[in-house]
Amino acid sequence: MGNWKDYIRKVEPYVPGEQPREAGIIKLNTNENPYPPSPKVTEALERFSADSLRLYPDPANSVLCEALASCYGLDTSQVFAGVGSDDVLSLCFLTFFNSDKPILFPDITYSFYDVWADLYRIPYLTRPLREDFTIRREDYFIENGGIIFPNPNAPTGVYEPLELIEDILKHNPSSLMIVDEAYIDFAGKPSAVSLLSRYENLLVVQTFSKSRSLAGMRIGYALGSPALIRALNDVKYSFNSYTLSRPALEIGTAAVLDTEYFAECTARIIRTREESKQILKELGFSFPDSASNFIFARHEQVPAAFLFEELKKQGIYVRYFNRPRISDYLRITVGTDEQMQRFFTALRMILQGTSENRN
């Protein structure tokens, strides 16, 4: 008789950023939007009938998919919605990456990719980014079972031009390519959505968690050819037909329709990001040019691990990754102007203290 413990699936899980519960914490560690959702979201919540919760939600997520299709100039058959982009990406791994050939993604990237690959027993190869954290396109001109990377990348914030994405697509006509655009709305640069009409093997995944301030509601979506979306739905309906709740569908639709607030909110974050870059440079930090709502920075003299712990003592949380090639970096979410001022005040005090100790 075998031991039941021998049959438990063992994986190295994804580790999310800390979620502190203390009051007064400045939370710059999980790339949440520092501003509230659209006022139209509040209005949708006020109109929502609690009595409707006794009914199942629409399994097709029709109202949200229609709003997203209209927003991107696509047909509803090209839109798939799920419980946050993590849920959508996980389904993509399960649906599309079933070859015995390895899938490809960067060595420094969203740390859920290798977790899903291990969970679903998908072979994979990581391709090393250049020293400036950009993709070496030739690394993806090899036989593979699929390709995935974020753009802008996480945790580096680097944006890759559409010309590079299209070149990789042209070299991989038999492979599915997923571009994970969780941060694209902060880039001020073109989305890979514009390539969908020319490449049936391209899938673009986005989220409501960042630019639409709905991380707590968990809404994500994929855009692609009708064939790809049908395949995703087939897998979804195989184990969970009712993915998004009724409140999520109404709130998500309201957020999509408020284009004016969306543009205003993202512009504020971009403006604060650019101002923060300048201050970080003055304080002795270097970083790749960020096209996201965070900055991936290292100090020339003070270790990132030390800064991480000292900032936490001041009630300021940033993200530290103790991993090869990036252990000298902190990922700093762009907060409100007031939050960033408090962050920089604390950072100056820490740096001044280390400078005095060295002298």
State pLDDT tens for residues 26-41: 999 999 999 999 999 9
At 77-95, the pLDDT tens digits run 999 999 999 999 999 999 9
Pairing verdict, β 103-106 and 79-82: unpaired
Q: Which fold has domain 39-257?
A: Aspartate Aminotransferase; domain 2 (3.40.640)
Query: At 5, is the pLDDT very low, low, confident or very high (cuts 50, 70, 90)?
Result: confident
pLDDT at residue 358, rounded to an integer: 63
- Which backbone phi and psi does 294 adopt, to 5 degrees? -150, 165
DSSP 146-171: -EEEESS-TTT-PPPPHHHHHHHHHT
Query: At 136, is the pLDDT very low, low, confident or very high (cuts 50, 70, 90)?
Result: very high
Report the share of the chain in percent with pLDDT over 70.
98
User: From CA 100, how far away is CA 47, in angstroms rounded?
Assistant: 50
Contact assessment for residue 186 and residue 269, using Cβ atoms and an 8 Å cutoff:
yes
* Helix locations, 201-245, DSSP H: 226-239
Pairing verdict, β 285-286 and 26-27: unpaired
Mean pLDDT of the chain: 96
Q: What is the pTM of this model?
A: 0.95
User: From CA 281, how far away is CA 161, in angstroms rounded?
Assistant: 25
Indicate the SS3 state at residue 89. Answer: helix
CATH class for the region spanning 21-36+260-358: alpha beta
User: From CA 98, how far away is CA 53, in angstroms rounded?
Assistant: 37
At 38-79, the pLDDT tens digits run 999 999 999 999 999 999 999 999 999 999 999 999 999 999
User: From CA 123, how far away is CA 1, in angstroms rounded?
Assistant: 31
